[in-house]
Amino acid sequence: MSMNTQGRPTAPGEAADATHPTFTGNKALMIEEPLIYEIGRPDVTGVDLDDDAETETHLGGLERSADPDLPGLSEPETMRHYVRLSQKNYAIDAGLYPLGSCTMKHNPRLNEKMARLPGFADIHPLQPVSTVQGALALIDLLAEGLKELTGMPGIAMSPKAGAHGELCGMMAIKAALEARGDARAIVLVPESAHGTNPATAALLGYKVEAIAARDDGTVDVAAVKEKLSDQVAAIMLTNPNTCGLFERDIIEIAEAVHDAGAFFYCDGANLNAILGRVRPGDLGVDAMHINLHKTFSTPHGGGGPGAGPVVLSEALMPFAPLPWVVAPTSQGEGGHTLVEHVESAGGATPFGRMTAFHGQMGMFVRAASWMLSHGADGMRQAAEDAVLSANYIRASLQDLMSLPFGERPCMHEVLFDDSFLNDTGVTTLDFAKAMIDEGYHPMTMYFPLVVHGALLIEPTESESKASLDLFVATLRDLAMAASRGETGRFAEAPFHAPRRRLDETRAARQPVLRWTPPAPTEPEPKRDAAE
């Protein structure tokens, strides 16, 4: 069998040298795309303006004295540049996105259509309240739905993302403790919690004490009780946890925390696994943020718009941040109103504001659309299908890939460790990089830290059985190739991506984020014919 230059057997009909360079640097539809500054020319623009055009200025003498240093491109060049860049990214619209703990599921286009309706897409938060009654009614509808689904009486809608929601919930806990004159200094965080939990607690000045996971990947009640004291303000527990397991002792943990005078914060990032099946309020939770982009199918922010509402227990409701949307009376009088000031809070003592306005309207519309289109039964089925998908992958791969917690069924995500790669010469990173060549984004690697070489896979409920079967077959092929010692397939992967493997350690420690144009070169001196 011949081998190509990538160290892999050649496919039928494939040339032995499959990496022959092309004149352009392109490989079929994989276009080599320079930086926009490299292709731009200062004399090109997509808009023509007269040089002598007389325009009125309101800049008060602060007009530019020189042209901005921007690349010049025509409109077709600009469009092609950004379309080509977009094609270098993997996306949920391109295929299964198995990142564990991220819930990368399909966003129904119906939700996008609803978010673009006039009255939602074109309003401004500084408009008079009388002109945005429909928007406020939708916010109230979504808030009431989230409270009903979680069994919690209070909610704060203003946080803009999951970590922002975490901060909100913990600030409410801190305000409640201060209101009763109880200064506490410690927050307990299990090792199986999300990584933002200890960061949030530390940001608020708390000392973080970790609780080790027991052998089955869950939190030990005895370990929690041993840590509890009159200095503990709260526990921050993720359920289902980041091992993809349900914390079976959560009610007993909540009771112990409350008996110690502390509060129970539950990370709601994995609500997608229990929606319609379990109400966190029934488990003793005092505060929990909800990632609308994970459970209610709004787009992942990617640094842009997000939403992380926080549901609150009766004990924490009075401390929810402003503003609040207040529904009209039962007789429908007065319309929806906004509580913007502490003086109008009706005896409650909100800790202040998390953000200027009352949340991200586009995300609210999408989440409400998803909720209404599914209904109670549909949302419950979504959670059940997410759990079914993860367990299907677990059962389909358990003979080739290693499960750190034995045969116990998982929830919405399945966790493998790297012991199946022992003595193969293939590392966890090698395995993940080889997935790129097969057309998949790698799963979450090396997290959670409670297992060595973690490989965390979350397929979500939006994948078909055919999609799961192809994914499973791909991972089985890679696992068998590793066991056969085909290290050439892994060691330098990916081979087919726009860029080969990067030095990720150096990229993290020495990031170069600014492009510098090359220095101009001196023209070579002309030579006469005699020379």
- Look at residue 15 and tell me whether its pLDDT is greater than 50: no
Average pLDDT over residues 424-447: 96
Average pLDDT over residues 197-217: 94
What residues contact residue 139 under an 8 Å CB cut-off, 6+ apart? 157, 325, 358, 359, 361, 364
pLDDT digits (tens, 9 = 90+) for 350-361: 999 999 888 899
pLDDT the model gives residue 53:
58
The C-alpha torsion from 169 through 172 and 173 to 177, rounded to 10°, is 170
CATH of the domain at 458: 3.90.1150.10
Share above pLDDT 70 across residues of the chain, in percent, rounded to a whole number: 92
Give the end of a domain, one of 350, 368, 386.
Answer: 368
**Per-residue pLDDT band at 200 (split at 50, 70, 90):** very high
Q: Is 196 helix (H, G, I), strand (E, B) or coil?
A: helix
> Do 353 and 461 belong together in one domain?
no
What residues contact residue 172 under an 8 Å CB cut-off, 6+ apart? 156, 287, 310, 312, 316, 319, 320, 321, 351
What residues contact residue 488 under an 8 Å CB cut-off, 6+ apart? 3, 6, 7, 8
- Number of domains observed in the structure of the chain: 3
pLDDT digits (tens, 9 = 90+) for 461-494: 999 999 999 999 999 999 999 999 999 999 999 9
Q: Are 454 and 446 in contact (CB under 8 A)?
A: yes
- Look at residue 529 and tell me whether its pLDDT is greater than 60: no
Average pLDDT over residues 425-441: 96
Residue 520 is assigned to a structural domain of this protein: no
Q: What's the CA gap between 464 and 385, in Å, rounded?
A: 10
pLDDT the model gives residue 11:
42
Q: What's the CA gap between 118 and 199, in Å, rounded?
A: 39
Chain length of the chain: 531
> Do 208 and 331 belong together in one domain?
yes
Average pLDDT over residues 313-339: 88
CATH of the domain at 173: 3.40.640.10
What backbone phi and psi angles, to 5 degrees, belong to 153?
-80, -20
Q: Which of 293, 331, 333, 332 is nearest to 309 (CA)?
A: 293
By CB atoms closer than 10 A (0-12, 13-18, 19+), residue 380 is middle
- Look at residue 3 and tell me whether its pLDDT is greater than 90: no
Average pLDDT, the chain: 90
Q: Is 528 helix (H, G, I), strand (E, B) or coil?
A: coil
Q: What's the CA gap between 437 and 430, in Å, rounded?
A: 11
Residue 45 is assigned to a structural domain of this protein: no
pLDDT the model gives residue 21:
79
* Structural domain containing residue 429: 376-505
Q: Which of 48-57, 66-75, 232-241 has the highest mean pLDDT?
A: 232-241
> Do 186 and 253 belong together in one domain?
yes
According to DSSP, residue 101 is labeled T
pLDDT the model gives residue 531:
53
- Look at residue 304 and tell me whether its pLDDT is greater than 70: no
Give the end of a domain, one of 368, 391, 424.
Answer: 368
Residue spans of beta strands (DSSP E) within 116-174 = 154-156
pLDDT digits (tens, 9 = 90+) for 396-420: 999 999 999 987 899 999 999 999 9
Give the end of a domain, one of 352, 368, 384.
Answer: 368
Which of 47-51, 204-208, 224-228, 295-299 shows the lowest mean pLDDT across its residues?
47-51
- Look at residue 282 and tell me whether its pLDDT is greater than 80: yes
Handedness of CA 221, 224, 230, 234 (dihedral sign): negative
- Look at residue 274 and tell me whether its pLDDT is greater than 90: yes
Contacts of 465-468 with CB under 8 Å at 24 or more apart are: 465/392, 467/95, 467/96, 468/96, 468/389, 468/392, 468/393, 468/396
Average pLDDT over residues 243-254: 96
Which one has a higher pLDDT value, 158 or 70? Answer: 158
The residue assigned the tokens 């599921």 is 105
